Amino acid sequence: VFAGDGDRPYEPGDPCAPRTVYGKSKLAGEQAVLAICAEAWVVRTAWLYSPSTNSFLDTMIRLERERSTLSVVDDQYGSPTLAVDLAEALEELARLVAHGNGPRERLLHCTGAGATTWFGFARAIFEEVGADPERIRPCTTSDFPRPAPRPAYSVLSNDAWGAAGLTPMAPWRAALQRCLPRQRSMEVA
């Protein structure tokens, strides 16, 4: 929903300027929900991954086995967010709302704390699985053209989440470390 050309984490109230149909439709959906339902909250997240889906994490683990080197984009910034952490955070928000203590702000951001690039995330995955991170080479977005442009900067600020009395999200790297044992156990099953 943001332009993607920022240089600091986006706050929920920052001006929106989506550049793609996908971003425009997301923004329209948010606005409709907030306008129609006074008892609704919109939570934005980004770079979601899980050990049980076809996510960036799974792709990197698969490619680590299949290729001697790989190139990963190093000019797009975001905050990797572990799906189970997001689910727990949303459950906490739902409990507050159910008890009549919902946050005053109805638009919040909830992502893994901190930021990295896809290249940085890939290297961290390799490090955590015991693979040589030097096998990953940085490249630019222009090296991998996509049908829809990707934002260079999609880091969302979690400040409003914490200010609403909700538990801050764990740093993205710590979440990755917790996730990988689950990933390995799913591969064995």
Answer whether 34's CB lies under 8 Å from 9's CB. Answer: no
Q: Based on the number of CB atoms within 10 Å of its own CB, is 188 exposed (0-12), middle (13-18) or buried (19 or more)? A: exposed
Instruction: Tell me the two tokens of residue 179.
Output: 């996730």
Answer whether 172's CB lies under 8 Å from 114's CB. Answer: yes
Answer whether 4's CB lies under 8 Å from 23's CB. Answer: no
H-run or E-run covering 73: strand 70-73
Give yes or no: 22 in active site. yes
Active-site pick, 10, 22, 77, 153: 22
Per residue in 149-170, is it b (16+ CB within 10 Å) or e — as a string?
ebbbbbbbbbebbeebebeebb
Q: Based on DSSP, count helices (H) and strands (E) in the chain, helices before strands.
A: 6, 8
Active site residues: 22
